[in-house]
Chains A and B, each alone.
Chain A
Amino acid sequence: MKTTSFVRSLPAFALAGAAALVLALPAPAAAPPAASTLDNLQAAYDGESNASAKYAAFAKKADEEGYGQVASLFRAAARAEQIHAANHAAVIKKLGGVPKNDVKAPEVKTTKENLQAAIAGESYERDKMYPEFLAKAKKDTNRDAIETFNFAKAAEAEHAKLYSESLAKLDSLKGTKAVTYYVCTVCGFTTTKLDFQKCPVCFNPKDKYTKVG
Protein backbone atom coordinates (compact mmCIF):
# COMPACT_ATOMS: atom_id res chain seq x y z
CA MET A 1 0.00 0.00 0.00
CA LYS A 2 2.76 2.39 1.01
CA THR A 3 4.78 1.44 -2.04
CA THR A 4 1.82 2.15 -4.33
CA SER A 5 1.32 5.55 -2.76
CA PHE A 6 5.02 6.33 -3.19
CA VAL A 7 4.89 5.31 -6.86
CA ARG A 8 1.82 7.47 -7.39
CA SER A 9 3.66 10.44 -5.87
CA LEU A 10 6.66 10.06 -8.17
CA PRO A 11 5.42 12.49 -10.87
CA ALA A 12 4.86 15.14 -8.20
CA PHE A 13 8.38 14.62 -6.85
CA ALA A 14 9.77 14.82 -10.37
CA LEU A 15 7.95 18.09 -11.03
CA ALA A 16 9.11 19.59 -7.74
CA GLY A 17 12.68 18.53 -8.49
CA ALA A 18 12.58 20.02 -11.96
CA ALA A 19 11.20 23.28 -10.57
CA ALA A 20 13.96 23.41 -7.95
CA LEU A 21 16.57 22.77 -10.64
CA VAL A 22 15.22 25.57 -12.81
CA LEU A 23 15.22 27.97 -9.87
CA ALA A 24 18.75 26.96 -8.88
CA LEU A 25 20.18 27.48 -12.39
CA PRO A 26 21.65 30.88 -13.05
CA ALA A 27 19.25 33.11 -14.97
CA PRO A 28 20.23 33.60 -18.63
CA ALA A 29 22.28 36.77 -19.06
CA ALA A 30 19.96 39.69 -19.72
CA ALA A 31 20.56 41.56 -22.99
CA PRO A 32 22.60 44.69 -22.32
CA PRO A 33 20.42 47.78 -22.21
CA ALA A 34 20.42 49.73 -25.48
CA ALA A 35 22.85 52.63 -25.34
CA SER A 36 21.20 55.99 -24.89
CA THR A 37 21.93 58.96 -27.13
CA LEU A 38 23.96 60.44 -24.27
CA ASP A 39 26.04 57.21 -24.09
CA ASN A 40 26.53 57.39 -27.85
CA LEU A 41 27.63 61.02 -27.62
CA GLN A 42 30.15 60.07 -24.93
CA ALA A 43 31.46 57.21 -27.09
CA ALA A 44 31.72 59.52 -30.09
CA TYR A 45 33.44 62.21 -28.00
CA ASP A 46 35.98 59.66 -26.78
CA GLY A 47 36.50 58.31 -30.29
CA GLU A 48 37.01 61.73 -31.85
CA SER A 49 39.42 62.80 -29.07
CA ASN A 50 41.51 59.68 -29.63
CA ALA A 51 41.36 60.07 -33.41
CA SER A 52 42.64 63.64 -33.16
CA ALA A 53 45.62 62.56 -31.02
CA LYS A 54 46.27 59.62 -33.34
CA TYR A 55 46.28 61.73 -36.51
CA ALA A 56 48.56 64.34 -34.93
CA ALA A 57 51.05 61.53 -34.19
CA PHE A 58 50.61 60.11 -37.72
CA ALA A 59 51.35 63.58 -39.15
CA LYS A 60 54.62 63.74 -37.25
CA LYS A 61 55.59 60.30 -38.59
CA ALA A 62 54.67 61.28 -42.15
CA ASP A 63 56.87 64.37 -41.87
CA GLU A 64 59.76 62.21 -40.62
CA GLU A 65 59.33 59.86 -43.58
CA GLY A 66 59.22 62.74 -46.08
CA TYR A 67 55.50 62.61 -46.94
CA GLY A 68 54.76 66.31 -46.42
CA GLN A 69 51.43 66.24 -48.24
CA VAL A 70 50.19 63.26 -46.24
CA ALA A 71 51.33 64.97 -43.03
CA SER A 72 49.18 67.97 -43.99
CA LEU A 73 46.18 65.71 -44.51
CA PHE A 74 46.67 64.07 -41.11
CA ARG A 75 46.97 67.51 -39.48
CA ALA A 76 43.77 68.70 -41.20
CA ALA A 77 41.92 65.56 -40.13
CA ALA A 78 43.23 65.95 -36.56
CA ARG A 79 41.80 69.49 -36.52
CA ALA A 80 38.48 68.23 -37.90
CA GLU A 81 38.27 65.53 -35.20
CA GLN A 82 38.88 68.22 -32.57
CA ILE A 83 35.92 70.14 -33.97
CA HIS A 84 33.73 67.03 -33.87
CA ALA A 85 34.79 66.33 -30.29
CA ALA A 86 33.94 69.91 -29.31
CA ASN A 87 30.54 69.67 -31.05
CA HIS A 88 29.76 66.37 -29.30
CA ALA A 89 30.89 67.83 -25.96
CA ALA A 90 28.56 70.80 -26.38
CA VAL A 91 25.57 68.48 -26.88
CA ILE A 92 26.62 66.28 -23.95
CA LYS A 93 26.65 69.39 -21.73
CA LYS A 94 23.28 70.47 -23.11
CA LEU A 95 21.88 67.08 -22.07
CA GLY A 96 23.25 67.59 -18.57
CA GLY A 97 26.26 65.29 -18.92
CA VAL A 98 29.97 65.82 -18.47
CA PRO A 99 32.14 64.99 -21.50
CA LYS A 100 34.62 62.23 -20.63
CA ASN A 101 37.45 60.88 -22.72
CA ASP A 102 40.39 58.57 -22.23
CA VAL A 103 43.04 59.57 -24.73
CA LYS A 104 45.46 56.69 -25.15
CA ALA A 105 48.97 56.83 -26.61
CA PRO A 106 48.49 56.15 -30.33
CA GLU A 107 50.20 53.20 -32.02
CA VAL A 108 52.32 54.74 -34.76
CA LYS A 109 53.66 52.55 -37.58
CA THR A 110 54.84 53.41 -41.09
CA THR A 111 52.88 56.08 -42.99
CA LYS A 112 51.47 53.41 -45.30
CA GLU A 113 50.19 51.40 -42.33
CA ASN A 114 48.98 54.57 -40.62
CA LEU A 115 46.96 55.46 -43.71
CA GLN A 116 45.46 51.97 -43.78
CA ALA A 117 44.56 52.24 -40.09
CA ALA A 118 43.04 55.68 -40.65
CA ILE A 119 40.92 54.41 -43.58
CA ALA A 120 39.67 51.50 -41.47
CA GLY A 121 38.76 53.84 -38.60
CA GLU A 122 36.99 56.39 -40.78
CA SER A 123 35.13 53.70 -42.73
CA TYR A 124 33.88 52.16 -39.49
CA GLU A 125 32.62 55.53 -38.29
CA ARG A 126 31.01 56.30 -41.67
CA ASP A 127 29.38 52.91 -42.24
CA LYS A 128 28.56 51.59 -38.78
CA MET A 129 29.12 53.82 -35.78
CA TYR A 130 27.52 57.07 -36.85
CA PRO A 131 24.62 55.46 -38.77
CA GLU A 132 23.69 53.55 -35.59
CA PHE A 133 24.07 56.62 -33.40
CA LEU A 134 21.98 58.61 -35.88
CA ALA A 135 19.22 56.01 -35.89
CA LYS A 136 18.98 56.19 -32.10
CA ALA A 137 19.11 60.00 -32.03
CA LYS A 138 16.32 60.12 -34.62
CA LYS A 139 14.24 57.74 -32.54
CA ASP A 140 14.74 60.12 -29.63
CA THR A 141 14.07 63.16 -31.89
CA ASN A 142 17.23 64.73 -30.50
CA ARG A 143 18.02 67.37 -33.12
CA ASP A 144 21.29 68.52 -31.57
CA ALA A 145 22.62 64.96 -31.51
CA ILE A 146 21.45 64.30 -35.08
CA GLU A 147 23.20 67.44 -36.27
CA THR A 148 26.54 66.75 -34.58
CA PHE A 149 26.52 63.08 -35.68
CA ASN A 150 25.59 64.13 -39.21
CA PHE A 151 28.40 66.68 -39.40
CA ALA A 152 30.92 64.11 -38.15
CA LYS A 153 29.67 61.36 -40.49
CA ALA A 154 29.94 63.61 -43.56
CA ALA A 155 33.47 64.69 -42.63
CA GLU A 156 34.62 61.13 -41.87
CA ALA A 157 33.37 60.02 -45.29
CA GLU A 158 35.49 62.74 -46.90
CA HIS A 159 38.50 61.82 -44.75
CA ALA A 160 38.21 58.18 -45.83
CA LYS A 161 38.15 59.34 -49.45
CA LEU A 162 41.17 61.64 -49.04
CA TYR A 163 43.15 58.96 -47.15
CA SER A 164 42.33 56.39 -49.84
CA GLU A 165 43.50 58.77 -52.58
CA SER A 166 46.76 59.39 -50.69
CA LEU A 167 47.35 55.68 -50.13
CA ALA A 168 46.74 54.91 -53.80
CA LYS A 169 49.52 57.30 -54.88
CA LEU A 170 51.72 57.12 -51.81
CA ASP A 171 54.94 56.41 -53.73
CA SER A 172 54.52 59.61 -55.72
CA LEU A 173 54.00 61.60 -52.52
CA LYS A 174 57.49 60.83 -51.18
CA GLY A 175 59.46 64.06 -50.93
CA THR A 176 56.40 66.33 -51.18
CA LYS A 177 56.07 69.41 -49.06
CA ALA A 178 53.16 70.53 -46.90
CA VAL A 179 50.02 71.60 -48.76
CA THR A 180 47.00 73.56 -47.60
CA TYR A 181 43.79 71.85 -46.56
CA TYR A 182 40.67 73.74 -45.52
CA VAL A 183 38.66 72.64 -42.50
CA CYS A 184 35.20 74.00 -41.63
CA THR A 185 35.34 75.25 -38.05
CA VAL A 186 31.62 74.54 -37.64
CA CYS A 187 31.27 70.98 -38.96
CA GLY A 188 34.84 69.78 -39.57
CA PHE A 189 34.35 69.12 -43.29
CA THR A 190 37.79 68.90 -44.90
CA THR A 191 38.61 69.83 -48.48
CA THR A 192 41.51 70.76 -50.72
CA LYS A 193 39.82 73.70 -52.42
CA LEU A 194 37.15 76.20 -51.51
CA ASP A 195 35.22 76.09 -54.78
CA PHE A 196 31.87 76.87 -53.13
CA GLN A 197 30.22 79.80 -51.38
CA LYS A 198 28.71 77.80 -48.54
CA CYS A 199 29.94 74.73 -46.72
CA PRO A 200 28.26 71.75 -48.44
CA VAL A 201 27.57 70.08 -45.08
CA CYS A 202 26.57 72.81 -42.61
CA PHE A 203 25.73 75.61 -45.13
CA ASN A 204 27.82 78.19 -43.27
CA PRO A 205 29.71 80.75 -45.40
CA LYS A 206 33.11 79.61 -46.61
CA ASP A 207 34.84 82.21 -44.43
CA LYS A 208 34.20 79.77 -41.56
CA TYR A 209 36.93 77.56 -43.05
CA THR A 210 40.41 77.59 -41.56
CA LYS A 211 43.65 76.73 -43.35
CA VAL A 212 45.66 73.75 -42.12
CA GLY A 213 48.96 72.86 -43.75
Chain B
Amino acid sequence: MIELPPAPSWDGLHPLIVHFPVALLLVAPVLVLLALVVRGHRRGLLLAALALMVLGTAASWVAVSTGEAAGKLADRSPEVNAVLEHHEELAETTRLVFTVLTAVFAALVLAPVVLKREPGEVATIGVAVLFLAVYGAGTLVLANTAHNGGRLVHELGVRALMPPAPLPAAEAEKD
Protein backbone atom coordinates (compact mmCIF):
# COMPACT_ATOMS: atom_id res chain seq x y z
CA MET B 1 0.00 0.00 0.00
CA ILE B 2 1.28 3.47 -0.84
CA GLU B 3 1.60 5.63 2.26
CA LEU B 4 2.46 9.26 2.75
CA PRO B 5 5.90 9.64 4.35
CA PRO B 6 5.96 11.47 7.70
CA ALA B 7 6.19 15.26 7.35
CA PRO B 8 9.75 16.38 8.05
CA SER B 9 10.53 19.05 10.60
CA TRP B 10 12.21 22.29 9.46
CA ASP B 11 15.72 20.91 10.12
CA GLY B 12 14.77 17.55 8.60
CA LEU B 13 13.75 19.34 5.39
CA HIS B 14 17.39 20.26 4.64
CA PRO B 15 18.45 17.00 2.90
CA LEU B 16 15.38 17.27 0.67
CA ILE B 17 15.52 20.94 -0.25
CA VAL B 18 19.26 21.23 -0.97
CA HIS B 19 18.86 19.42 -4.28
CA PHE B 20 16.51 22.06 -5.67
CA PRO B 21 18.95 25.00 -5.93
CA VAL B 22 21.64 22.69 -7.28
CA ALA B 23 19.44 21.30 -10.06
CA LEU B 24 17.43 24.40 -10.93
CA LEU B 25 20.32 26.88 -10.88
CA LEU B 26 22.54 24.61 -12.97
CA VAL B 27 19.87 23.98 -15.63
CA ALA B 28 18.88 27.65 -15.97
CA PRO B 29 22.01 28.76 -17.93
CA VAL B 30 21.50 25.88 -20.37
CA LEU B 31 18.17 27.44 -21.30
CA VAL B 32 19.86 30.83 -21.72
CA LEU B 33 22.36 29.23 -24.11
CA LEU B 34 19.53 27.54 -26.00
CA ALA B 35 17.74 30.89 -26.25
CA LEU B 36 20.75 32.32 -28.05
CA VAL B 37 20.72 29.47 -30.57
CA VAL B 38 16.98 28.94 -31.06
CA ARG B 39 15.94 32.46 -31.99
CA GLY B 40 12.32 31.51 -32.68
CA HIS B 41 11.74 30.53 -29.06
CA ARG B 42 14.08 33.02 -27.44
CA ARG B 43 11.51 34.87 -25.35
CA GLY B 44 9.94 31.65 -24.02
CA LEU B 45 13.31 30.07 -23.22
CA LEU B 46 14.52 33.18 -21.43
CA LEU B 47 11.33 33.30 -19.37
CA ALA B 48 11.73 29.60 -18.55
CA ALA B 49 15.34 30.29 -17.48
CA LEU B 50 14.13 33.14 -15.31
CA ALA B 51 11.49 30.90 -13.71
CA LEU B 52 14.17 28.31 -12.87
CA MET B 53 16.43 30.99 -11.40
CA VAL B 54 13.63 32.39 -9.25
CA LEU B 55 12.68 28.92 -7.97
CA GLY B 56 16.32 27.92 -7.46
CA THR B 57 17.13 31.10 -5.57
CA ALA B 58 14.01 30.76 -3.41
CA ALA B 59 15.09 27.18 -2.66
CA SER B 60 18.56 28.45 -1.69
CA TRP B 61 16.97 30.71 0.96
CA VAL B 62 15.04 27.74 2.36
CA ALA B 63 18.18 25.56 2.18
CA VAL B 64 20.23 28.05 4.21
CA SER B 65 17.53 28.40 6.85
CA THR B 66 16.88 24.65 7.18
CA GLY B 67 20.64 24.06 7.13
CA GLU B 68 21.17 26.34 10.12
CA ALA B 69 18.46 24.45 12.00
CA ALA B 70 20.00 21.09 11.03
CA GLY B 71 23.52 22.28 11.92
CA LYS B 72 22.46 22.98 15.50
CA LEU B 73 21.53 19.31 15.88
CA ALA B 74 24.52 17.87 14.04
CA ASP B 75 27.11 15.72 15.80
CA ARG B 76 30.16 17.91 16.23
CA SER B 77 33.86 17.18 16.07
CA PRO B 78 36.74 19.49 15.08
CA GLU B 79 36.56 18.11 11.51
CA VAL B 80 32.79 18.55 11.31
CA ASN B 81 33.05 22.06 12.77
CA ALA B 82 35.58 23.10 10.14
CA VAL B 83 33.62 21.73 7.17
CA LEU B 84 30.27 22.87 8.56
CA GLU B 85 31.52 26.43 9.06
CA HIS B 86 32.90 26.50 5.50
CA HIS B 87 29.70 24.97 4.10
CA GLU B 88 27.60 27.54 5.96
CA GLU B 89 29.69 30.48 4.70
CA LEU B 90 29.59 29.21 1.11
CA ALA B 91 25.83 28.64 1.34
CA GLU B 92 25.29 32.23 2.40
CA THR B 93 27.51 33.46 -0.43
CA THR B 94 25.59 31.26 -2.89
CA ARG B 95 22.30 32.69 -1.70
CA LEU B 96 23.57 36.26 -2.08
CA VAL B 97 25.19 35.68 -5.49
CA PHE B 98 22.11 34.04 -7.02
CA THR B 99 19.74 36.57 -5.51
CA VAL B 100 21.70 39.33 -7.28
CA LEU B 101 22.09 37.30 -10.51
CA THR B 102 18.38 36.49 -10.62
CA ALA B 103 17.44 40.13 -10.05
CA VAL B 104 19.81 41.23 -12.82
CA PHE B 105 18.51 38.53 -15.18
CA ALA B 106 14.91 39.50 -14.42
CA ALA B 107 15.74 43.09 -15.30
CA LEU B 108 17.43 42.02 -18.55
CA VAL B 109 14.55 39.76 -19.62
CA LEU B 110 11.70 41.99 -18.56
CA ALA B 111 13.11 45.39 -19.53
CA PRO B 112 12.34 44.96 -23.29
CA VAL B 113 8.78 43.95 -22.37
CA VAL B 114 8.30 46.97 -20.11
CA LEU B 115 10.06 49.38 -22.45
CA LYS B 116 8.43 47.77 -25.51
CA ARG B 117 11.76 47.90 -27.33
CA GLU B 118 13.78 44.86 -28.43
CA PRO B 119 17.58 45.21 -28.30
CA GLY B 120 19.64 44.34 -31.36
CA GLU B 121 21.05 40.85 -31.94
CA VAL B 122 24.64 41.80 -31.14
CA ALA B 123 23.62 43.56 -27.91
CA THR B 124 21.47 40.58 -26.87
CA ILE B 125 24.25 38.06 -27.46
CA GLY B 126 26.90 40.29 -25.87
CA VAL B 127 24.89 40.87 -22.70
CA ALA B 128 23.91 37.18 -22.51
CA VAL B 129 27.52 36.00 -22.84
CA LEU B 130 28.67 38.48 -20.20
CA PHE B 131 25.85 37.37 -17.91
CA LEU B 132 26.69 33.70 -18.46
CA ALA B 133 30.35 34.35 -17.61
CA VAL B 134 29.40 35.92 -14.28
CA TYR B 135 26.79 33.20 -13.73
CA GLY B 136 29.48 30.57 -14.34
CA ALA B 137 31.51 32.02 -11.46
CA GLY B 138 28.39 31.78 -9.31
CA THR B 139 27.93 28.12 -10.18
CA LEU B 140 31.46 27.44 -8.88
CA VAL B 141 30.38 28.78 -5.46
CA LEU B 142 27.22 26.67 -5.69
CA ALA B 143 29.20 23.55 -6.60
CA ASN B 144 31.60 24.12 -3.69
CA THR B 145 28.69 24.54 -1.30
CA ALA B 146 27.17 21.28 -2.52
CA HIS B 147 30.54 19.53 -2.34
CA ASN B 148 31.05 20.55 1.29
CA GLY B 149 27.51 19.46 2.13
CA GLY B 150 28.29 16.12 0.50
CA ARG B 151 31.49 15.81 2.54
CA LEU B 152 29.54 16.39 5.75
CA VAL B 153 27.14 13.58 4.91
CA HIS B 154 29.22 11.01 3.04
CA GLU B 155 32.69 11.57 4.50
CA LEU B 156 31.96 12.74 8.05
CA GLY B 157 28.66 10.93 8.59
CA VAL B 158 26.59 13.96 9.62
CA ARG B 159 22.92 13.04 9.44
CA ALA B 160 19.74 15.08 9.65
CA LEU B 161 17.24 14.02 12.27
CA MET B 162 14.41 12.26 10.46
CA PRO B 163 10.93 11.87 11.92
CA PRO B 164 10.29 8.40 13.36
CA ALA B 165 8.37 6.21 10.92
CA PRO B 166 7.09 2.65 11.20
CA LEU B 167 9.15 0.00 9.42
CA PRO B 168 7.73 -1.38 6.17
CA ALA B 169 5.89 -4.66 6.80
CA ALA B 170 8.61 -6.82 5.18
CA GLU B 171 11.35 -5.22 7.33
CA ALA B 172 9.26 -5.48 10.48
CA GLU B 173 8.77 -9.23 9.86
CA LYS B 174 12.56 -9.75 9.59
CA ASP B 175 12.97 -8.18 13.08
- Among residues 30 to 75 in chain A, which have CB atoms less than 8 Å away from a CB atom of chain B? none
Question: Can you report 13 A-B residue pairs in the complex whose CB atoms are below 8 A from each other?
Answer: A141-B164, A143-B9, A143-B161, A150-B72, A150-B73, A150-B74, A150-B75, A153-B76, A157-B78, A196-B85, A198-B88, A200-B84, A203-B71
Tell me whether A141 and B76 are in contact (CB under 8 A). Answer: no
* Partner of B11 from A143, A151, A153 at Cβ < 8 Å: A143
* Partner of A203 from B72, B75, B161 at Cβ < 8 Å: B72
Tell me whether A154 and B73 are in contact (CB under 8 A). Answer: no
List residues of chain A with CB within 8 A of the CB of B161: 138, 141, 143, 146
> Do most interface residues of chain B lie in helix, strand or loop, or is the interface mixed?
helix
* Partner of A146 from B73, B88, B163 at Cβ < 8 Å: B73
**Distance of A198 Cα from B86 Cα, bound (Å):** 12
* Partner of B76 from A150, A196, A203 at Cβ < 8 Å: A150
Tell me whether A154 and B76 are in contact (CB under 8 A). Answer: yes
- Among residues 143 to 158 in chain A, which have CB atoms less than 8 Å away from a CB atom of chain B? 143, 146-147, 150-151, 153-154, 157
Contact with B along A168-204 (1 / 0, CB 8 A): 0000000000000000000000000000101011110
Q: How big is the A interface, by class?
A: 10 to 19
Tell me whether A200 and B74 are in contact (CB under 8 A). Answer: no
> Do most interface residues of chain A lie in helix, strand or loop, or is the interface mixed?
helix
List residues of chain B with CB within 8 A of the CB of A92: none
Question: Is B124 part of the binding interface, using a Cβ–Cβ cutoff of 8 Å?
Answer: no
Contacts A141-B161, A141-B164, A200-B85 given: A134-B72 contact, CB under 8 Å? no
How many residues on B have C-beta within 8 angstroms of the other chain's C-beta atoms? 17
Tell me whether A147 and B73 are in contact (CB under 8 A). Answer: yes
List residues of chain B with CB within 8 A of the CB of A196: 85
Tell me whether B163 and A141 are in contact (CB under 8 A). Answer: yes
List residues of chain A with CB within 8 A of the CB of B11: 143
* Partner of B72 from A141, A157, A202 at Cβ < 8 Å: A202
Contacts A134-B75, A141-B161, A153-B76 given: A200-B81 contact, CB under 8 Å? yes
Contact with A along B153-174 (1 / 0, CB 8 A): 0000000010110000000000
Tell me whether B73 and A203 are in contact (CB under 8 A). Answer: no
**Distance of A26 Cα from B81 Cα, bound (Å):** 52
- Among residues 96 to 151 in chain A, which have CB atoms less than 8 Å away from a CB atom of chain B? 134, 138, 141, 143, 146-147, 150-151
Tell me whether A203 and B9 are in contact (CB under 8 A). Answer: no
Additional A-B contacts beyond A150-B72, A200-B84 (9; CB < 8 A): A143-B9, A143-B161, A146-B161, A154-B76, A157-B78, A198-B88, A201-B76, A201-B81, A202-B72
**Distance of A125 Cα from B25 Cα, bound (Å):** 43
**Distance of A203 Cα from B73 Cα, bound (Å):** 12
Tell me whether A203 and B68 are in contact (CB under 8 A). Answer: yes
Identify the closest chain A residue to B68 (Cβ).
A203
**Distance of A201 Cα from B81 Cα, bound (Å):** 8
Contact with A along B62-84 (1 / 0, CB 8 A): 00000010011111101001001
